[in-house]
């Protein structure tokens, strides 16, 4: 196991001295994940709230589709987006393949059903007496919606943190759509995969430590939102 202890020593050295390739992978990961999460929230929170708060024709079908997409394999998402953005695809003229925007598209699709389904679930789990109380107090539909959002704000925080944790650790979409290009589209997960396959453990361990730190922060935030929601 000497190679492992040596790998940890080198990994810590890379982190302390802010190795360019390591920092680039962290930056690419956080940037693409942040952009994807922002887009998914922009689309998913209103749609999830609509699915959970209102009843309309096709509501159950949309909810079923969203719930099914929760288990959608990331490599399949990568394949479908690849078909669209490759040079022979409908969006090929935009040159999105093997770019950060290309990765963002795939990661947005990955995060979207999480936000939609879990937001709808949060709305549905809200005590039905809350809406009845608002009606009794004479609140109009807009006021009812805004107050409902206020009641579930911590649940929505948990939804967004969960989606971030899911996207930041995925490999398939980033590998297929980003191409694992050094100093450009190489993320932490794709770099770990590549370096390990080459027998170079130092950078892989360094990035693994960063991912562990991110996982700790994500779980800390989840616990915080959960406790605030119960308070």
Dump pLDDT digits (tens) for 6-17.
Answer: 767 777 787 888
- Asked if 203 and 11 count as a contact pair (C-beta separation under 8 A), the reply is yes
Handedness of CA 114, 218, 193, 37 (dihedral sign): positive
Kindly state the tokens that stand for 85.
């953005």
What SS3 state is found at 21? helix
Gap between the Cα atoms of 133 and 145, Å rounded: 13
User: Tokens representing 182?
Assistant: 């050094």
How many Å apart are CA 51 and CA 34, to the nearest integer?
25
**pLDDT confidence of residue 220:** 92
Q: Write out the two tokens for 126.
A: 């809200």
Angle at the Cα of 103 from the Cα atoms of 28 and 191, rounded to 5 degrees = 50
DSSP codes joined into one string, 123-151: HHHS-HHHHHHHHHTT--HHHHHHHHHHH
* Predicted TM-score (pTM) of this structure: 0.90
SS3 state at 217: helix
Which band of pLDDT confidence, cut at 50, 70 and 90, is reported for residue 4?
Answer: low
| C-alpha span between 164 and 57 (Å, rounded) | 31
The domain limits of the chain are 2-124+168-214
Give me 82's structure tokens.
């690849």
The whole-number pLDDT of residue 181 equals 92
- Residue 128's pLDDT is what? 66
pLDDT bucket at 145, cuts 50 / 70 / 90 = confident
Q: 85 pLDDT exceeds 90?
A: yes
Report which of residues 147 and 210 the model is more confident about. 210
Q: How many helices (H) and strands (E) does the chain have?
A: 11, 0
Q: Which residue has the tokens 């800390």?
A: 220
DSSP 30-78: HHHHHHHHHHHHHHHHHHHHHHHH---TTHHHHHHHHHHHTT--HHHHH
Residue with more model confidence, 53 or 78 = 78
CATH code: domain 2-124+168-214 is 1.10.3720.10
Judged on CB neighbours under 10 Å (0-12, 13-18, 19+), 142 is: exposed
More confident residue, 14 or 25: 25
DSSP state of 93: G
- Is 127 a residue whose pLDDT tops 80? no
């Amino acid at each position: 196991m000497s190679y492992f202890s040596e790998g940890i020593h080198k990994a810590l050295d890379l982190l302390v001295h802010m190795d360019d390739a390591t920092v680039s992978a962290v930056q690419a990961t956080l940037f693409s994940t942040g952009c994807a999460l922002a887009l998914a929230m922009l689309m998913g929170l209103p749609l999830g709230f609509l699915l959970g708060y209102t009843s309309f024709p096709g509501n159950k079908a949309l909810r079923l589709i969203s719930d099914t997409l929760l288990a959608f394999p990331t490599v399949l998402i990568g394949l479908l987006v690849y078909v669209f953005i490759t040079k022979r695809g409908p969006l090929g003229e935009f040159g999105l393949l093997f770019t950060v925007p290309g990765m963002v598209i795939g990661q947005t699709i990955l995060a979207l059903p999480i936000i939609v389904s879990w937001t709808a679930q949060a709305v549905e789990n809200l005590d039905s007496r809350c809406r009845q109380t608002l009606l009794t107090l004479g609140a109009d539909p807009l006021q009812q919606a805004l107050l409902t959002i206020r009641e579930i704000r911590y649940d929505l925080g948990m939804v967004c943190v969960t989606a971030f944790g899911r996207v930041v650790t995925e490999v398939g979409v980033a590998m297929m759509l980003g191409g694992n290009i050094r100093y450009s589209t190489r993320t932490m997960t794709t770099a770990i995969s590549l370096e390990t396959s080459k027998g170079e453990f130092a950078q892989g361990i360094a990035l693994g430590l960063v991912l562990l730190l991110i996982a700790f922060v994500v779980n800390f935030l989840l616990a915080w939102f959960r406790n605030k929601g119960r308070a």
